[in-house]
C-alpha cells in the first residue's frame, strides 16, 4: 500500500475502535451524539470537505455529496451509529478501490519504465552524462550492460544481446552488431555498445509509445461514455426521488422520521460508485494486459471494436508473409550460377535471394543493371541477360511465361528461377483461430501479381483475395467491403498502408517498432511482426468487454432491487451500505481479473 493508503487504513482502524468504545458507554442523548461525532469526523472529514468544495465549484451530485447528505441526515434524526457505520464502510470501499487502481496502474508501470533517465554522449573525446532530451541526431552514445537505450540509432561499435521484451513482448533477446538499427527503451544485456543517434528523444520510439499510452484514456468507448452520461442523469434523479420518499408519504401515513430514514438509506444505495469506478478501471486493465504482450491500444473504443470484429482485411508482404524473398524453384544449377554471377552486383531484394541460394559464381564483366527489368553482363564470351519478360523481349529472346526471373546467354534461353515471399509459419493457424473467435471472413489485399497472391492465399487458408492493387485501389476495395455494415479491421505493416489503416473501423499496424507512420496512422500497434497477436488481442478485448457487462448488469440490478426494497421499508441503512459499498468492492474485485488476461 502507498503512504496515503496506509494513513486511510489507520484512520479507519482508529474510528472503528472509538465507535465500538462509544457504543458500550452508558450514555444517552446529546452526550452520546457528541461522542459519536469523534469517530465520524476522524473517518469522514475528507468526504465532508470534498462535498463542500464540490458544491462551491458547482459540482453537486457526486458520491461525496450523497454520503454527506445521508450521514448528516442520520445524525439529525438521532440514528448516530448508522451514520458513523455508513461513513466507515464507505471509506473501507474507497480504500479497496484505491488499492485496486494501484494494482491496475502497476500493470502498465513496466511499460512506462522504458524511458531511460540518462544518456552517455561523446563530447570532446569523453562520454558525458546528459538527459536523453539533450541528445542530438548524429551524437555517439555509450550504452553499458543493464542500461536502457535512450534514443533510436544505429550500432557503430560493439556487439551485444538486447532485451526487447518491454517494447515488443518478445522474450528472446536479440543480438545486434555494428550497422544494425536499435530502438529506444530496449535494455543492453551483455557488452558495451556505441550507437549513433538517428532521432531526437521526442521523435524516438520510446517517446511515441509513452505518448500513446498516456492518451489512451482520452478515446472512450460506448460503455465508458454511457456510464458518464448515466451518472449525470441518474444521481440528480435519485436525489429528487429521495426527497419525495422523505416528505410525500408522511402527508398520508405520518411517521416522518421513518420515511426520512428510508430516504437517507435511498441516498446511500443510489451512489453510482460501482459503475463509475469499475467500468473505466476494467478498460484500463484490459489495455494494460495488452501492453504487456507488446500490443498498444489507443483507447477503450478500439478495444470494443476488436471485441466485435466481423471481418479482418490484411496486407500480404510483412503481414501474412515474412517479407524476405527466397528462391523456391529453378531450372538447374547452371541457370542459378549464371543468374547469381550478375545479381551479386545488385542490391535488389530478388538479386539478394538468388545470390544467397547460389554456391558457385562465374567471373562477369561489363555488368549493368537495367532499371525495372534486370541485369546484363558478359561471362566469358557470352552476353548474359537475367531479368523479367520485358528484358527478354529487349534481348530478342522468346518467352511466354510469367512470374519468374529468366536467364538467357549468347542469344539463347537457358532457364528460369522462381523467387517468392514465404508465408509465416503461424499464418494459417492464426486464420483458423480467428474464425473460431467469431471472425466471418479473412480477406487479403495486395499490390503483388496474381500468381504470388494466389500462392499466399492457398497456403494461408484465406476466404477472399484481391491482387495487383495500388494504395488508392486498396482504399477503394476496403470501402466496398465496409459497405456490408460489418465491423472491419485492417491489419498491415504500417509503412505503406497508412491510408487503409486510417479508413478501416480499426487499423492495426504490425511490426511497427520504429515506424512513425504506423504509430500515427493506426488505432492499435503490434510492436513485433507476430500475426498471432491479433487473436490474443481479440481474446483480451472480448474478455474485457465481458467483465464490463458483468459489472454494469450486477451493479444496476442490485441497486434497483435494494432501492425498491428501501422505499417499501424492507431494507434499512445496513442493506443500503451493502448495495453501495459492497457492490463497489465486488465490482472492483471482478475488474481485477482484467489484469490477468
Length of the chain: 597
Which one is catalytic: 62, 139, 163, 315?
315
Q: Decide: 154 and 172 in contact? Cβ < 8 Å.
A: no
Q: State the residue for C-alpha cell 530502438.
A: 183
- Give one DSSP letter per residue of 528-596, joined into a string: S--TTHHHHHHHHHHHHHHHHHHHHHHHHHHHHHHHHHHHHTS--HHHHHIIIIIHHHHHHHHHGGGGG
Helix H, strand E, coil C: the string for 221-284 is: CHHHHHHHHHHHHHHHHHHHHHHHHHHCHHHHHCCHHHHHHHHHHHHHHHCCHHHHHHHHHHHH
Q: Which residues of 225-256 are buried (b: 16+ CB within 10 A; e: fewer)?
A: eebeebbeebbeebbebbeebbeebeeeeeee
Q: Decide: 372 and 382 in contact? Cβ < 8 Å.
A: no
Antiparallel, parallel or unpaired: β 374-379 and 506-510:
unpaired
Distance between CA atoms of 578 and 274, rounded to whole angstroms? 11
- Kindly list the distances between the CA atom of residue 90 and the CA atoms of 34, 277, 551, in Å, as whole numbers in the listed order: 21, 14, 19
Q: Is 113 a catalytic residue?
A: no
- How many angstroms from the chain centroid is the CA of residue 160? 29
Distance between CA atoms of 438 and 487, rounded to whole angstroms? 12
Distance between CA atoms of 365 and 358, rounded to whole angstroms? 19
Distance between CA atoms of 348 and 162, rounded to whole angstroms? 29
Q: Give the gyration radius of the chain's Cα atoms.
A: 33
Q: Decide: 328 and 420 in contact? Cβ < 8 Å.
A: yes
Distance between CA atoms of 65 and 59, rounded to whole angstroms? 9
Cβ count within 10 A of residue 577: 23
Residues designated catalytic:
315
Amino acid at each position: 500500500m502507498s503512504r496515503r493508503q496506509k494513513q486511510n487504513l489507520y484512520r479507519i482502524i482508529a474510528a472503528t475502535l472509538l465507535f465500538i468504545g462509544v457504543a458500550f458507554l452508558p450514555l444517552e442523548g446529546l452526550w452520546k451524539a457528541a461522542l459519536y461525532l469523534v469517530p465520524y469526523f476522524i473517518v469522514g472529514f475528507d468526504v465532508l470537505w470534498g462535498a463542500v468544495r464540490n458544491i462551491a465549484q458547482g459540482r453537486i451530485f457526486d458520491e461525496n455529496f450523497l454520503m454527506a447528505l445521508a450521514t448528516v441526515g442520520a445524525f439529525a434524526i438521532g440514528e448516530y451509529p448508522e451514520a458513523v457505520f455508513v461513513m466507515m464502510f464507505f471509506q473501507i470501499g474507497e480504500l479497496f478501490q484505491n488499492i485496486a487502481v494501484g494494482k491496475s496502474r502497476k500493470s502498465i508501470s513496466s511499460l512506462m519504465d522504458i524511458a531511460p533517465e540518462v544518456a552517455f554522449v561523446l563530447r570532446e573525446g569523453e562520454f558525458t552524462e546528459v538527459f536523453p532530451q539533450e541528445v542530438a541526431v548524429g551524437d555517439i552514445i555509450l550504452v553499458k550492460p543493464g542500461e536502457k537505450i535512450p534514443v533510436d540509432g544505429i550500432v557503430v561499435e560493439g556487439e551485444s544481446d538486447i532485451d526487447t521484451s518491454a517494447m515488443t513482448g518478445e522474450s528472446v533477446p536479440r543480438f545486434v552488431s555494428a550497422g544494425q538499427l536499435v530502438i529506444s527503451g530496449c535494455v543492453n544485456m551483455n557488452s558495451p555498445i556505441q550507437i549513433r543517434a538517428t532521432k531526437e528523444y521526442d521523435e524516438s520510439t520510446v517517446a511515441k509509445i509513452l505518448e500513446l499510452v498516456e492518451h489512451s484514456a482520452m478515446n472512450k468507448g460506448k460503455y465508458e461514455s454511457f456510464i458518464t452520461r448515466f451518472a449525470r442523469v441518474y444521481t440528480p434523479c435519485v436525489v429528487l426521488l429521495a426527497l419525495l420518499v422523505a416528505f410525500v408519504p408522511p402527508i398520508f401515513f405520518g411517521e416522518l422520521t421513518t420515511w426520512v430514514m428510508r430516504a437517507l438509506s435511498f441516498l446511500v444505495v443510489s451512489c453510482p460508485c460501482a459503475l463509475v469506478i469499475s467500468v473505466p478501471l476494467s478498460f484500463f486493465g484490459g489495455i494494460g494486459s495488452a501492453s504487456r504482450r507488446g500490443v498498444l491500444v489507443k483507447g477503450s473504443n478500439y478495444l470494443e471494436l476488436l471485441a466485435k470484429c466481423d471481418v479482418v482485411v490484411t496486407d500480404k508482404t510483412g503481414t501474412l508473409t515474412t517479407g524476405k524473398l527466397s528462391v523456391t524453384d529453378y531450372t538447374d544449377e547452371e541457370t542459378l550460377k549464371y543468374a547469381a554471377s550478375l545479381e551479386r552486383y545488385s542490391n535488389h531484394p530478388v538479386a539478394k535471394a538468388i545470390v544467397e541460394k547460389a554456391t558457385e559464381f562465374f567471373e562477369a564483366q561489363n555488368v549493368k543493371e537495367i532499371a525495372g527489368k534486370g541485369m546484363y553482363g558478359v561471362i566469358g564470351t557470352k552476353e548474359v541477360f537475367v531479368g523479367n519478360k520485358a528484358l527478354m523481349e529487349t534481348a530478342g529472346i522468346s518467352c511466354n511465361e510469367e512470374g519468374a526471373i529468366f536467364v538467357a546467354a549468347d542469344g539463347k534461353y537457358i532457364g528460369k528461377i522462381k523467387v517468392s515471399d514465404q508465408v509465416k509459419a503461424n499464418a494459417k493457424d492464426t486464420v483458423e483461430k480467428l474464425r473460431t473467435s467469431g471472425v466471418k471472413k479473412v480477406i487479403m489485399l495486395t499490390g503483388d501479381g496474381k500468381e504470388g497472391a494466389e500462392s499466399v492465399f492457398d497456403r494461408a487458408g484465406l476466404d477472399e483475395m484481391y491482387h495487383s492493387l495500388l494504395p488508392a485501389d486498396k482504399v477503394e476495395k476496403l470501402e466496398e467491403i465496409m459497405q456490408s455494415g460489418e465491423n472491419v479491421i485492417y491489419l498491415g505493416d504500417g509503412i505503406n498502408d497508412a491510408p487503409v489503416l486510417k479508413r478501416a473501423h480499426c487499423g492495426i499496424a504490425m511490426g511497427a517498432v520504429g515506424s512513425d507512420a504506423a504509430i500515427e496512422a493506426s488505432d492499435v500497434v503490434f510492436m513485433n511482426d507476430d500475426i498471432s497477436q491479433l487473436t490474443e488481442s481479440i481474446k483480451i478485448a472480448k474478455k474485457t468487454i465481458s467483465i464490463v457487462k458483468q459489472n454494469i448488469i450486477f451493479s444496476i440490478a442490485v441497486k434497483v432491487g435494494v432501492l425498491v426494497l428501501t422505499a417499501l421499508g424492507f431494507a434499512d441503512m445496513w442493506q443500503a451500505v451493502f448495495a453501495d459499498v459492497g457492490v463497489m468492492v465486488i465490482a472492483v474485485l471482478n475488474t481485477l481479473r482484467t489484469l490477468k488476461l
